[in-house]
């Protein structure tokens, strides 16, 4: 690659990263201003940020961004850094199955379902598959399809349908239920007003992950998320029916808000019920009102006008633009339909506050509700506009005209005549009768029918004629996405299933700030340590590597921001770890440059050949680690995915900076005839002529490893592990007392209260504890949460001193089993993938087997150490998701080291005279020639991990300890086990494919 292209790439990537990171600085400034303005008042701070949502806060000249847009592009902080609430919702498929079968009383059906529910808690098999298998096992004569062949399901299932048809039907309905629940939860969260929420379906499961940073009202969140979706159909008022009322509200507000001043326009009492139901009686009054609006030439702009241009003294109309437009003759006319006004998203809270005032509520008719549209739209030049609808209630309870449980099916389709997106809807017999009545009245009165879910309007289509039979279509100015969403909403009534919280984590803001401080400190100290070592060992070349490290961190943060990644505490740990591994490629290059210098080559040739010959090892070692990160990303969740994301991106940016940035620096130095040095006198000969007899002494290493494995397996079998709450289920709390407390005393009190064994561990300082209880582990309801919390407080209060609950986490037994199984699969899959990659790259099974032996050895030793040291060391050594991330990282690093030796071995075996040398001697040379690189790279990683362990904070101390110890073990196995294993697995025979058959036979086997 030419120097010009490299420079161009560096400049482009740098500008792109700078652009991505800049949004974070902009949003932080706005939020800092909000905090200063609110002075500790959270409601005031939120109101400030809401008001800034649509304001331009970032102007690049060629592009402008509002605060909301900038917020969407920032590098967000995870809950463990910012505080907040993390919830996993599970859709109740058992409830769905029962409802789709009309709640049958059949004993075999209900027994099969109960057994399936019980088994689902200890297996990853879907509940639907378990249920169908269990029903078949009962030997019942009644076909399973007969239960689901109801009137509502007639289009999908008949009594004679096969079991495969039933399975397909249930899976489809389950997917519909999950998608609909996602839509409902998304809308509810948006209404809650959480900044930067994250909600995503966990693919392949019936779960939805929700992250709500900065939340401090957990009880309200639980109620909001777990409520059943409520789909309703309402008749509406026409805008013409309501305009007089809205004007009266506006004038009443003007009077009451400025009671100390003479009102510019007196509020005239009107018969609002008549105004709402008889538009003809108010025509003259409306003409007068419209003429007032028409006097302002700039006020009208199709269906939306700039509310700020309306005359003073209009508190409501200044933020809620009436639905008026300019007619053909230039006169102002009322807009059609049920929309009575438009407001900027940031002003909706103020409109709601006006409408909730006692003097305003008293003049709004009892049969009228004013509801907002589900999502904002852009009208004319104004963005983020919400429509306000006038809804007509009916009956004694002022309820809807119809409810959504009459819907039997809804599909997004295309109109065969216009080819535009539409929604088709079918109803049951009762629904068809009600729909005919409602549409007949709507067509006669020329009003709309609003589709309302959870109190917001999804659509309010007009009705042209009476609709009989219950089959109808809804058309409008829809996009394909709009019709998909509306079809899902209409299915809400047909899928009466609930979503319950099965996993929950709450992190207080104070703990989040501690995590941020710890993470930043460890990152800064880690950079300093790595830089100091590189300069001390590699002289001027170390300076080039340090410049690459700085660029690497910059690029890493920029890429994370561009991907809208969430930065978590394990993510910061990944950044710190990346700093240590970032120099790995440079070490490979520099060690190779030393070898080329020893051959007497010119410095330009040294640089060229150093990069050229180091490239295969660099790519192989980094790709294997990247594959482990990829597996971790797809099998982990939450913070672990954050760590995996950081690790993978860090590998890519490390390769880019190590290969291109340092090469540019060296090329510049060569062009200026500057001296390039890759060592000091003291470090020049370190391990340079190493000639240790690794093959000859391999059996000693085998014995040491065997003893360590036996001890580890014995400890695991006898003592076992301390499992984290995400592996065993239950609830865990982080407690902080104002004075030091004895963990044993707290445990005894809690055991007495809970009536079960409680796990209490010191968490960092002696006044901070981690409490885990299995009390009510099977219960995930709000009542159970409150009971556990009440008993916890009862037990904690018996210990002298004030305390604070910093964080809490709840994991149901089903999801704990799922997480544990996925962790096992991830570990096995990692070893298999690594072995497969090595087999493809090196074409000999002995290489794959050697790498597999080393990685399995490392995993067993690390597991054994966690079992042996648990309860001995003064920090948590729980086996949880963080440990899985650590052990997979160690496996990746172990192979990273091993592959470098393998690459050198392959290089030696490709030489023309390789067959003349004994394979044992060749392997020994490969290990010794890469020994310097192995030791130096391990030292840099150990340095940063030691910093992370000491300064990274208690939350990730066990995590950093696992990687720290694992790196030491992995370094040992890559030197003493992996390559020597190839010797024994090949029977001491030559592996070089280039050797001639007759020469292979003559090769002597000499053990060095």
Q: Please give the model's pTM, rounded to 2 decimal places.
A: 0.67
Residue-wise pLDDT for 219-241, tens only, equals 767 777 776 667 889 999 988 88
For position 302, what pLDDT does the model report? 36
- Output the CA angle 316-321-325, nearest 5 degrees: 145
Looking at residue 465, what is its pLDDT?
85
Report the candidate in 783, 812, 983, 791 with the shortest Cα–Cα distance to residue 902.
983
Positions in the chain whose pLDDT score sits under 70:
1-2, 42-43, 190-196, 216-217, 220, 227-229, 258-312, 326-330, 378-383, 396, 492-497, 509-512, 515, 637-639, 780-782, 813-816, 914, 990-1008
Q: Are 93 and 174 in contact (CB under 8 A)?
A: yes
CA distances from 344 to 305, 308, 336, 898, 1002 (A): 11, 11, 20, 60, 87
The answer to whether residues 216 and 42 touch, using CB atoms and an 8 Å cutoff, is: yes
CB of 229 within 8 A of CB of 658? no
SS3 387: strand
Name the token pair of 407.
């819907």
Tokens of 66: 């509002």
| Residues 466, 443: Cα–Cα separation, whole Å | 6
Query: Which pLDDT score, from 0 to 100, does residue 968 have?
Result: 92
What is the C-alpha to C-alpha distance for residues 127 and 114, in angstroms, rounded to an integer?
10
Helix (H) or strand (E) holding 37: helix 3-38
Alpha helices in 446-539 (DSSP H): 480-490, 509-538
Q: How far apart are CA 97 and CA 120, in angstroms?
A: 14
Residue 163, number of CB atoms within 10 A of its CB? 14
Q: Which residue has the tokens 């002289």?
A: 539
User: CA nearest 719: which of 522, 864, 536?
Assistant: 864
Distance CA 579, CA 551 (A): 11
Q: Beta strands 56-59 and 566-567: pairing type?
A: unpaired
Number of H helices, E strands in the chain: 35, 26
Q: How high is the pLDDT of residue 379?
A: 61
Tell me, what's the pLDDT at 364?
92
Q: What is the pLDDT of residue 381?
A: 54
Give 494-511 pLDDT, tens digit per residue: 545 677 887 777 777 666
How far is it, in rounded angstroms, from Cα 636 to Cα 731?
Answer: 20
Residue owning tokens 């697995």 = 985
- In this structure, are strands 382-392 and 368-372 parallel, antiparallel, or unpaired? antiparallel
- Residue 877 has what pLDDT? 86
* Per-residue confidence (pLDDT) for residue 281, from 0 to 100: 39
Residue 104, token pair as written in the block: 């049958």
Cα(first)–Cα(last) distance of the chain, in Å? Answer: 42
pLDDT at 718: 93
Rounded Cα gap, residues 728 and 821, in angstroms: 11
β-bridge pairing 499-507 and 84-91:
antiparallel
Handedness of CA 569, 571, 575, 580 (dihedral sign): positive
Pairing assessment for the beta strands 566-567 and 76-77 based on DSSP bridges: parallel
pLDDT at position 722 is: 85
Residues in the chain: 1008
Q: What is the pLDDT of residue 22?
A: 94
pLDDT at res. 701: 94
Cα atoms found within 13 Å of the Cα of residue 128, Cβ hemisphere only: 22
| Cα 570 from Cα 641, distance rounded (Å) | 9
| Cα 794 to Cα 382: distance, rounded to the nearest angstrom | 55
In angstroms, the CA 932 to CA 690 distance is 9
Structure tokens at 329: 């003759």
8 A C-beta contact, residue 548 and residue 657: yes
Element at 771 (helix H, strand E): strand 768-773
CA–CA distance, 811 with 779 (Å, rounded to integer): 10
Q: What is the pLDDT of residue 288?
A: 46
Rounded alpha-carbon distances, angstroms, from residue 222 to 210, 671, 850 = 12, 65, 51
């Amino acid at each position: 690659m030419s120097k010009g292209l490299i420079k161009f790439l560096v400049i482009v990537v740098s500008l792109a990263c700078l652009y991505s990171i800049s949004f974070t600085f902009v949003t932080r400034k706005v939020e800092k201003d909000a905090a200063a303005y609110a002075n500790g008042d959270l409601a005031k701070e939120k109101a400030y940020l809401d008001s800034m949502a649509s304001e331009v806060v970032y102007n690049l000249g060629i592009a402008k961004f509002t605060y909301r847009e900038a917020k969407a592009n920032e590098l967000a902080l995870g809950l463990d850094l910012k505080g907040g609430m993390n919830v996993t919702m599970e859709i109740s498929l058992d409830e769905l199955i029962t409802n789709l079968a009309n709640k049958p009383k059949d004993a075999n059906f209900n027994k099969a379902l109960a057994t399936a529910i019980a088994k689902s808690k200890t297996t990853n098999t879907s509940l639907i598959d378990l249920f169908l298998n269990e029903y078949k096992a009962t030997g019942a004569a009644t076909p399973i399809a007969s239960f689901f062949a109801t009137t509502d399901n007639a289009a999908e299932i008949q009594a004679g349908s096969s079991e495969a048809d039933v399975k397909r039907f249930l899976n489809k309905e389950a997917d519909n239920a999950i998608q609909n629940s996602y839509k409902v939860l998304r809308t509810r969260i948006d209404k809650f007003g959480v900044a930067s929420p994250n909600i995503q379906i966990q693919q392949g499961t019936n779960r939805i992950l929700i992250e709500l940073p900065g939340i401090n009202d957990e009880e309200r969140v639980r109620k909001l998320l777990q409520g059943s979706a409520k789909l309703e159909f309402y008749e509406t008022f026409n805008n013409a029916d309501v305009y007089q009322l809205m004007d009266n509200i506006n004038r009443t507000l003007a009077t009451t808000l400025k009671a100390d001043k003479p009102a510019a326009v007196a509020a005239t009492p009107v018969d609002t019920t008549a105004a709402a139901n008889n538009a003809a009686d108010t025509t003259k009054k409306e003409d007068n009102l419209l003429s007032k609006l028409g006097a302002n030439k700039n006020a009208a702009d199709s269906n939306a006008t700039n509310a700020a241009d309306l005359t003073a003294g209009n508190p409501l109309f200044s933020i809620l633009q009436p639905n008026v437009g300019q007619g053909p003759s230039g006169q102002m006319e009322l807009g059609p339909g049920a929309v009575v006004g438009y407001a900027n998203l940031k002003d909706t809270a103020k409109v709601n506050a006006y409408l909730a005032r006692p003097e305003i509520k008293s003049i709004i008719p009892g049969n009228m509700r004013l509801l907002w549209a589900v999502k904002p739209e852009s009208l004319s030049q104004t963005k983020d506009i919400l429509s306000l609808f006038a809804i007509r209630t009916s009956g004694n309870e002022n309820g809807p005209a119809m409810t959504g449980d009459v819907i039997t099916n809804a599909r997004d389709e295309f109109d065969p005549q216009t080819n535009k997106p539409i929604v088709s809807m079918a109803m049951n017999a009762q629904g068809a009768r009600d729909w005919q009545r409602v549409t007949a009245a709507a067509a006669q009165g020329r009003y709309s029918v609003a589709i309302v879910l959870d109190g917001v309007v999804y659509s309010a289509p007009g009705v042209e004629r009476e609709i009989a039979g219950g089959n109808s279509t809804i058309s409008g100015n829809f996009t394909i996405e709009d019709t998909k969403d509306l079809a899902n909403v209409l299915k809400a009534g047909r899928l009466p299933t609930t979503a319950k919280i099965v996993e929950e984590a709450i992190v207080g803001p104070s703990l989040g700030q501690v995590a941020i401080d710890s993470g930043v400190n460890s990152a800064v100290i880690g950079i300093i340590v790595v830089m100091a070592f590189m300069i001390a060992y590699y002289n001027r070349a170390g300076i080039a590597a340090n410049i690459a490290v700085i660029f690497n961190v910059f690029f890493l943060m920029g890429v994370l921001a561009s991907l809208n990644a969430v930065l978590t505490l394990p993510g910061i740990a990944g950044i710190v770890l990346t700093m240590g591994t970032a120099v790995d490629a440079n070490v490979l290059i520099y060690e190779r440059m030393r070898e080329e210098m020893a051959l007497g080559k010119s410095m330009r040739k040294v640089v060229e050949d150093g990069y050229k010959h180091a490239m295969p090892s660099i790519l192989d070692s980094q790709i294997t680690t990247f594959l482990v990160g990829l597996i971790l990303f797809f099998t982990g969740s939450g913070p672990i995915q954050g760590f995996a994301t950081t690790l993978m991106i860090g590998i890519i940016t490390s390769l880019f900076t190590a290969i291109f940035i340092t090469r540019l620096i060296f090329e510049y130095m060569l062009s200026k005839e500057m001296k390039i040095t890759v060592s000091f006198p003291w470090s020049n000969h370190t391990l340079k002529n190493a000639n240790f007899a690794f093959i000859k002494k391999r059996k000693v290493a085998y014995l040491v490893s065997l003893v360590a494995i036996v001890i580890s397996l014995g400890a695991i079998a006898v003592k076992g592990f301390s499992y984290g709450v995400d592996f065993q289920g239950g609830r865990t709390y982080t407690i902080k007392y104002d004075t030091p407390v004895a963990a044993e005393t707290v445990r005894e009190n809690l055991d007495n209260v809970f009536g079960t064994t409680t796990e209490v561990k010191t968490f960092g300082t002696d006044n901070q504890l981690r409490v885990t209880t299995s009390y009510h582990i099977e219960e995930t309801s709000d009542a159970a949460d409150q009971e556990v919390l009440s008993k916890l407080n009862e037990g904690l209060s018996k210990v002298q001193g004030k305390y604070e609950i910093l964080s809490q986490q709840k994991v149901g037994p089903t999801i704990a089993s799922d997480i544990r199984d996925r962790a096992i699969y991830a570990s096995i899959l990692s070893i298999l993938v690594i072995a497969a990659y090595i087999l493809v790259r090196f074409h000999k099974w002995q290489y794959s087997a050697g790498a597999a032996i080393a990685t399995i050895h490392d995993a067993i030793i690390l597991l054994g150490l966690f079992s042996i040291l648990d309860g001995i060391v003064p920090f948590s050594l729980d086996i949880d998701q963080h440990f899985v991330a650590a052990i997979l990282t160690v496996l990746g690093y172990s192979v990273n080291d091993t592959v470098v030796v393998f690459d050198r071995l392959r290089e030696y075996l490709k030489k023309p005279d390789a067959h003349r040398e004994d394979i044992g001697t060749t392997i020994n040379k490969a290990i010794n020639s890469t020994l310097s690189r192995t030791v130096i790279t391990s030292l840099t990683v150990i340095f940063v991990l030691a910093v992370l362990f000491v300064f990274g904070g208690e939350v990730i101390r066990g995590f950093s300890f696992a990687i720290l110890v694992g790196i030491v073990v992995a370094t040992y196995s890559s030197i003493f086990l992996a390559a020597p294993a190839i010797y024994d697995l090949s029977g001491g025979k030559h592996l070089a494919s280039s050797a001639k058959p007759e020469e292979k036979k003559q090769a002597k086997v000499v053990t060095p």
